[in-house]
Amino acid sequence: MSKPSFLNRNFVLLTQGQLVNQAGSQMALAATAFWLKQVTNSATLVGLMSALAALPLLLLGPLGGACADRLSRRNILIACDLLCGMVSAVVAMLLYGQPGHVSYDALGLFLGTVILSSAIAFTSPALNALIPSLVVKADVGAAMAFSQASGFLALIVGQLLGGVLLTRYLPAVLFWVNAGSYFVSALAELFVRTDARVILAPHEQRPGIFHDIREGFSYVWHRRGMRVLLLAAIPLNVLTTPVIVFLPFYTTNSLGQPLARYGYLLAALSVGLLTGYAISGRLPPQQHRRHAALFGCVGGCAAIIVALAFLQTFWRVALLIGLLGALIGIVTLISLNAFIQQTEPNKRGRVGAVLLMTTQGITPIAMFAIGMLSDAMGNNIRVLYGACGMLLAATVVATSTNRDLRDFLQHD
């Protein structure tokens, strides 16, 4: 069987580097969340970590998108990976300096999370804008699906390894591993060859970078279908993220299971996401069915989240968590491909940054408030899940009939 046409040398090198990078990052992130749960048992602190990680995405995301449309996107990835590798190494040394001191460990983990998140504000727009330039237009959807699926494969491996290593080593070891993964990623990206006529910004005189930032927001806002989809993505992310972030508390407090079983649910979610990306990449919905596919999947997410508030059997919960992951994967790919394919190549960095800022940036800050609410309710996650599911269902009803959004999704 012949390999897919998008698997050319440059795309494979880029994906290999990102695979190693994301595995190392997820290893550190999963271990950090696990460590915070074990040491503090505070949903507020877990939410605070997510909120702090989101601030750079909100503050620096638009600047990162503008840079991705002005500079070499490959070089942005290389520079950020080298910086992240050095920062991870420094954090590891700080943690080794005060072993066993919870306050120093927590400070090091929070500091590392904030700095590494700052780099994501630059790398995410650059990566999403670079991939369509490495493959032909007909393969953009499949390439994006392959990239996202590879990322979640790295997520599965990274989280499993992170959990195992944390039971045997201090958090500093995980940051050493993360540092190495960034350096390997930078080395792979160094050999990616890109078309300067596509990747680099034009050399003619152009307005300043703040004009580019404003233009990115204006571009999205004045395209009504794109604007509605972007605004609808905010409640989708805010209302599905609690299922993932508070899964450790749901496992122990709601299901009465040992914390070790949290790993099974996390693996089920990851496998589901991987399956959703694979389905969306191999069998993308036809042009006239994208709207129905998108809102059918979001409605399914709402129903599953409400069901999780009532289920008691662990393996039924694991099955629904996996199905939820698959639906989220399909929704993400349909939305992301719509944004990328309907955006001019020289504006993809800025549009991607707006998408990053309004979804990944706003969501964790909302998670901090949800974490405080969860603590106030005695970590009654069932009530929290039920409320999130019903609000998500209301969002589907409110946005699914929007004609501008329907036309945007059905446009090719």
pLDDT given at position 132: 82
Can you give the CATH number for the domain in which 279 is found? 1.20.1250.20
**Any domain includes 262:** yes
Say if CB 161 and CB 153 are below 8 A apart: no
pLDDT in tens, the chain (412 residues): 455 566 778 888 888 887 787 777 777 776 666 666 666 666 666 667 766 777 787 788 888 888 888 888 899 999 999 998 998 888 778 766 655 556 666 777 777 778 888 888 888 888 888 888 888 777 777 777 777 777 767 777 776 777 677 667 766 777 788 889 899 989 988 888 875 444 444 455 566 777 788 888 888 888 888 888 888 888 888 888 888 878 888 888 888 888 778 878 877 887 888 888 888 777 666 667 778 888 899 999 999 999 999 998 899 999 999 999 999 888 888 887 788 778 887 787 888 778 777 776 666 666 667 767 777 777 688 988 998 999 999 988 988 888 888 888 776 6
Say if CB 277 and CB 149 are below 8 A apart: yes
Say if CB 335 and CB 225 are below 8 A apart: no
pLDDT given at position 301: 93
Q: Which domain holds residue 66?
A: 9-194+213-410
pLDDT given at position 198: 42
Tell me if residue 249 falls in helix, strand or coil. Answer: helix
Full-model pTM: 0.71
**Any domain includes 203:** no
**Any domain includes 135:** yes
Q: Which class for 288: exposed (0-12), middle (13-18), buried (19 or more C-beta within 10 A)?
A: exposed
| DSSP sequence for 347-403 | GHHHHHHHHHIIIIIHHHHHHHHHHHHHHHTTS-HHHHHHHHHHHHHHHHHHHTT-H
**Any domain includes 294:** yes
- Mention every residue, 6+ apart, whose C-beta is less than 8 A from residue 282: 142, 145
**Any domain includes 324:** yes
pLDDT given at position 326: 92
d(CA 197, CA 199): 6
Looking at the 3D structure of the chain, how many domains does it have?
Answer: 1
pLDDT given at position 197: 41
Question: How many alpha carbons lie under 13 Å from residue 105 in its C-beta half-sphere?
Answer: 16
Say if CB 360 and CB 233 are below 8 A apart: no
**Any domain includes 201:** no
Give the pair of three-digit tokens for residue 293.
Answer: 């596919």
**Any domain includes 97:** yes
**Any domain includes 3:** no
- CA end-to-end span of the chain: 29
pLDDT given at position 323: 94
pLDDT given at position 171: 67
